[in-house]
Structure 1
Amino acid sequence: MTFKAFLGTLIILFFSNLTFTQEKYAIVIHGGAGGRSKTTMSIEQQNNYKAKLEEALAAGEKLLKNGASSAEAVVEAIKIMEDSPLFNAGKGAVFTSDGKNELDASIMNGENLNAGAVAGVRTIKNPITAAREVMENSEHVMLSGKGASEFARQQGLETVKNKYFFTRKRYESLKALQKKQRKRTSADNTGTVGCVALDIHGNLCAGTSTGGMNNKKYGRIGDSPIIGAGTYANNKTCAVSCTGHGEYYIRLGFARDISALMEYKKLGVKEACAAEIQKLTQLGGTGGVIALDANGNMAMEFNTSAMFRGYIKSTGEKEIAIFAEE
């Protein structure tokens, strides 16, 4: 082999490896965890949920495939779920005890640990977009209530009347609970949405959005907008988004704890998530988590009968599921 041919071979091998590295991406989403079962959900309902999860995944994957950042993919996927009345986020948010809708969201960039969140907002159509604006265009991490809404307006985000979030199903659920016609179960608060993504640049991002807890009082805020509890991302470890009974996730510092287990105990992402779910169970909490590491390894762990979930990888590997047995 001549030197020129040898050099040409090296160049081909170099660019082949470079292309492989650049094309690696993954996206994982959840739409809440709870006590659903195949006996309480019709095939039509299951298909509706799966179709919306499919739509969210496809939108996020399209961006990642074309070189967009993980943050862009996370926001786009979550927006689609926020705009659907199927989930307890955005349009499908549950009601507070006084018949209003208060929403929370957060996002974190694994490359630089920058983060943003909004809590208790009533007029921002897509809270995840406001969380991103806080992350990228403010000196703060979390804004709440009217201040967060004013910030969103100044950033040019779409705002709506609170009645935009009204859905008959969620309102009837509130009234039934208030009249004590049924017991509160974990299913009452399902539907929080979340997304974690790895882009072709090797950066992780995590985001979570929720309408909170049905019949919540006193301006209650759960784990979803709290960095380290419901959302966390660090390129050195993983990106995490949680769903479930927020009070338990806050007490555990759930999302950050998974990262710590990976960083200090050298656990894999699936092993770390399983260990944290075990802690949640021992404490008496219910819920689930999705996570993704910088190598594209992922986890979707939960201790309930169902978690709306799905993922797509650049390898073509894909899954959309609802129940534990799937």
Structure 2
Amino acid sequence: MGGWAIAVHGGAGVDPNLPAQRQEEAKRLLTHCLHLGISALRSSLPAIDVVELVVRELETDPLFNSGRGSALTEKGRVEMEASIMDGPKRRCGAVSGLTTVKNPVSLARLVMEKSPHSYLAFEGAEEFARQQGVETVENAYFITEENVGMLQLAKDANTIMFDYRIPTDTCSGAAGTIDSPLQMNGLPISLYSQETVGCVVVDAQGRCAAATSTGGLMNKMSGRIGDSPLIGAGTYACDICAISCTGEGEAIIRGTLAREVAAVMEYKGLDLQDAIDYVIKERLDEGKAGLIAVSNDGKVGYGFNTTGMFRGCATEDGFMEVGIWE
């Protein structure tokens, strides 16, 4: 055993001109979440409990795109999704289309532990939440003033907005004025970034777990489901590793990105970082994404092909890093 390790992310694809204050806010939140996870690991909490704890914290803070602060659909509502996976027996739970559940990741865990299913969505997931007595709130709780403004920008530009922070000369704010090489599922989009959140952990016993949570894309179609709740795409954990992805959901789904990291470790015998590098290079095609991962021998790693990824990681031997850029 190589001891415990933890990694956390707040999304891949970051505007190079992101204001310094916003960068510092993000780093502070990531650092806080890392310390929360480290403290839990030092208290011998199992990996599955630690990933839930950390992602709940990220869902509660409006800075990133999950829980409170989630991106808005074309109808101006929040539809959240999340998944969690426990590596040792590959148990998993996932939820989509949540509109009132305060902490989607915790409902995903209840799906895993208290239902006969792996995945519940929309009305069925909301009904299950009420049966389980989890905390629910009005949809307005999740909506921030900033995101209301961003949705209007996306509507003015007639686009799905991937990153509301990236200025572009060709996006004048009127439909038909976008000239962008970026595409999603073969269709042009104007701007890039996803601020999904996630956490991966290996505990001192070598148990791996992963959790991912998001509000999805700004101005997404109602009913759109991304990679975050899809086991093997946005989230995966097994006996040897755990992975949480972020970025262009449609590309992550096509590449079954999270499972692919585990697969090349299992079948090619690659170590964790080599597996991450291989998958980011070979499995994304034209897509943009990033991921964090841990292995059962206490290693931690990450990779991305975007300008940056909000991330933090730490290991039992004292290593700790919080960063945004390469």
Deviation at 1:186, TM superposition (A): 5.0
Deviation at 1:86, TM superposition (A): 1.0
List per-residue Cα deviations over 1:11-34 (Å, max 9, x = no partner). xxxxxxxxxx6x921110000001
SS in 2 for 1:92: coil
SS in 2 for 1:88: coil
Q: Summarize the Cα distance change of 1:185–1:24 in structure 2 as closer, same or farther, 3 Å threshold.
A: farther
Larger Rg: 1
Deviation at 1:154, TM superposition (A): 1.6
Question: Which residue of 80, 90, 98 maps to 2:75?
Answer: 98
1:29 is the counterpart of 2:31 = no
Question: Which residue of 302, 305, 315 maps to 2:304?
Answer: 302
Deviation at 1:80, TM superposition (A): 1.1
What is the aligned partner in structure 1 of residue 252 from structure 2?
A: 249
TM-score by length of 2: 0.89
1:200 is the counterpart of 2:204 = yes
1:212 is the counterpart of 2:233 = no
Question: Which residue of 95, 117, 130 maps to 1:118?
Answer: 95
Question: Within 1, Cα distance between the matches of 2:309 and 2:104?
Answer: 22
Question: Within 2, Cα distance between the matches of 1:134 and 1:185?
Answer: 36
For these two proteins, the number of residue pairs brought into alignment is: 298
Deviates more, 1:98-107 or 1:266-275: 266-275
Deviation at 1:280, TM superposition (A): 4.1
When the two chains are superposed, the root-mean-square deviation of aligned CA atoms in Å is 1.4
What is the aligned partner in structure 1 of residue 236 from structure 2?
A: 232
List per-residue Cα deviations over 1:186-217 (Å, max 9, x = no partner). 53x42100000011221000000000011111
1:259 is the counterpart of 2:262 = yes
1:1-326 equivalences under 5 Å are: 24-37=3-16, 40-180=17-157, 181=173, 184-187=189-192, 189-235=193-239, 237-281=240-284, 283-324=285-326
Question: Within 1, Cα distance between the matches of 2:156 and 2:245?
Answer: 30
Q: Summarize the Cα distance change of 1:112–1:276 in structure 2 as closer, same or farther, 3 Å threshold.
A: same
More helix by share: 1
SS in 2 for 1:106: strand
SS in 2 for 1:191: coil
SS in 1 for 2:84: strand
CA contact (8 A) 1:186 1:245 kept: no
TM-score by length of 1: 0.89
Gaps of 5+ in 1: 1-20
CA contact (8 A) 2:299 2:315 kept: no
- Larger RCO: 1 or 2 (CA < 8 Å, sep 6+): 2
CA contact (8 A) 2:6 2:300 kept: no
SS in 1 for 2:65: coil
Q: Which amino acid aligns with 1:250?
A: I
SS in 2 for 1:107: strand
SS in 1 for 2:262: helix
Percent of aligned pairs sharing the same letter: 42
Q: Which amino acid aligns with 2:235?
A: T
Q: Summarize the Cα distance change of 1:267–1:186 in structure 2 as closer, same or farther, 3 Å threshold.
A: farther
Gaps of 5+ in 2: 158-172, 179-188
Q: Summarize the Cα distance change of 1:264–1:186 in structure 2 as closer, same or farther, 3 Å threshold.
A: farther
Q: Summarize the Cα distance change of 1:277–1:179 in structure 2 as closer, same or farther, 3 Å threshold.
A: same
CA contact (8 A) 2:75 2:222 kept: no
SS in 2 for 1:241: strand
Question: Within 1, Cα distance between the matches of 2:191 and 2:94?
Answer: 24
